[in-house]
Structure 1
Amino acid sequence: MPDIHSAHESPLTAGTGTPRLSALLDAAAHGDGRAWSGLWTELFHNGTLDPAHPLVLPALTAMAEEGTVEALSLAGALLVRDDGCPEPGRLREAYALEVARLLAAAHRSRQAVVGSGTYCVVLEALLGVEGGAPYAEELIGGLLNEEYEIECPGPDGCGEVWVVLGERGHFTTAEDYALAEDDVRRVPLRPAVPGTGPGARLHGYALADGHPDVARALTYVCGEAECPTCGRSFRVSDVLAAPRPR
């Protein structure tokens, strides 16, 4: 069991809430699901606890190195959120050693986990720890949910496009297919093996790690889709990676 109290001192402000944070981390290290829920709520969603506190990333890193996917996932999410702040990179700079250890733990975990769902969670965490892919949550979330809801990238912005992949088929539609009648127009996706970028790396990882279903899904995300309204062709991965206004 990792010792969360062995964390090094941080040049960042420790903030407040140390007793509660320490208690949550201790409980999470012992597998308490409610503690993990509390950590996600207070560190990530509400910000009532400071992610820059000197206990947080060292403790999450220690747990991730023991194979706790939840710790890896939360650490990746905290780094991604910090990257999007007005002054990005404070956590990466202050905890460079932990980030390097988290990256190594993420690669070990992706090679060890079973189940496509958990594997996708590890891939999202890996992208988060690496940095430079703020769209990782949307990318992996779509793989898990087997659908993406995006805006047509055409200049006229003709409306929402549903991109469906999985057991229900691989297609785009302009309607909520789950609520629509059977005769809803569906335009087949055209898969392609990704050649560059994060998609190519994830595709290679999935094949090497024994997750061909994830690799196949990525060929549709990185292949060609068509807006069923205006006929414009696009790649889902390009739409997700496009810069967004902050």
Structure 2
Amino acid sequence: MNWTQMRDCYGDVDRVPELLEQVALKDDAEAWNELGHRLCLEHDLVFPASFAALPRLVHLASRSAQARGLAGTIMQRAAGHHGCDDLLADCADAIAEFRELLDRHLQSQPVDYLTSFRDLLAAKEQYHWSAVLGDFTDDFYHLVCPHCAVEVTIAIGHYGRYSSIRDWNLGDVDRRHLQPAIPEELSETGRWMHETAVRDGQEALANGITYLFGKAECPRCTSVFSIADEYTSANLPS
């Protein structure tokens, strides 16, 4: 790797490779903290050094939660306008390895299950779901009805599973029950998400996914539409 062109968030080109060598030799919390700041600055930014470091982080991820988490953060931000598409393409083998590693990690039912699930979604280029997927205790998705263009709030949580019109004074009004998808009829991303959650004993997550990939009724025009299709159409990175 030619690090002379791989600037980090401070514009430096030498500090990241030094830190990678340091954490590879010793699990140094201070070094990991600095590495995280240099590779993944706040405001969802990543830099050339972020992708240059990704293969090394994936290599360390099997034995380091810090490496796994930092690699996951980089993947979640890979959808942004970072100007490093060529570097991201060069990481294809490392990303494939990272997907396999995360899948094995999920099967151990770790305490960071949802975070790792979202990281795996990003590694599969499902950036829009990676960015918003919650544990379905208090999840809201905002869509535009494809038929009448009214803004519809989709709620999936302990308080209810419904579509509604949000009134900032009255709350969610004119609620309509969601229609969950039949698991056997799910396809592609929805099927994978549901089957993975079921495999790993994540019942609440699996159940919520059936609603996320189910259908909603527009409270304004009463038309029925696919929640996932409309959310994907509006939020899938170009």
TM-score normalized by structure 2? 0.77
Indicate whether 1:190 and 2:185 are aligned. Answer: no
The residue correspondences of 1:45-60 to structure 2 (distance < 5 A) are 45-47=44-46, 49-51=47-49, 54=52, 56-60=53-57
Tell me the distance in 2 between the aligned counterparts of 1:145 and 1:39. 33
Given candidates 61, 69, 78, the residue that maps to 2:58 is 61
- Which of 125, 149, 157 is matched with 2:149 structurally? 157
- Matched residue SS, 1:150: strand
Q: Which amino acid aligns with 1:127?
A: L
SS of 1:127 mapped into structure 2: helix
Paired residues for 1:219-234 under 5 Å: 219-234=210-225
Equivalent in the alignment of 1:5: none
Would the aligned equivalents of 2:76 and 2:131 in 1 still touch at CA under 8 Å?
A: no
Could you tell me which amino acid in structure 2 is paired with residue 91 of structure 1? L
Q: Does 1:17 align with 2:17?
A: no
Give the letter aligned to residue 143 of structure 2: I
Deviations 1:37-57 (A, max 9, x none): 62464387344x424663x11
**1:51–1:176 CA distance, 2 compared to 1 (3 A):** farther
- The AA in structure 2 aligned to 1:57 is L
Corresponding residue to 1:172 among 163, 181, 199: 163
Is contact 1:110–1:209 with CA below 8 Å preserved after alignment?
yes
Alpha-carbon RMSD: 3.4
Aligned residues: 226
Partner of 1:241: 232
Gapped regions of structure 1 (runs ≥ 5): 1-8
Identity score, percent: 21
Give the alignment partner of residue 100 of structure 2, picking from 101, 104, 113. Answer: 104
The TM-score, its normalising length taken from structure 1, stands at 0.75
Secondary structure of the structure 2 residue equivalent to 1:238:
helix
1:213 maps to 2:166: no
Q: CA deviation at 1:108?
A: 1.2
Residue 148 (structure 1) shift: 0.8
Is the alpha carbon distance of 1:59 and 1:87 closer, same or farther for their aligned partners in structure 2, counting shifts above 3 Å?
A: closer
Task: Tell me which amino acid in the other structure corresponds to 2:144.
Answer: E
Give the deviation of 1:113 after TM superposition. 3.6
Question: What do residues 204-228 of structure 1 show as CA deviations (whole Å, max 9, x unaligned)?
Answer: 0000011011000000011111111
**1:149–1:163: 8 Å Cα contact kept in structure 2?**
yes
Contact 2:51-2:88 within 8 A present in 1 as well: no
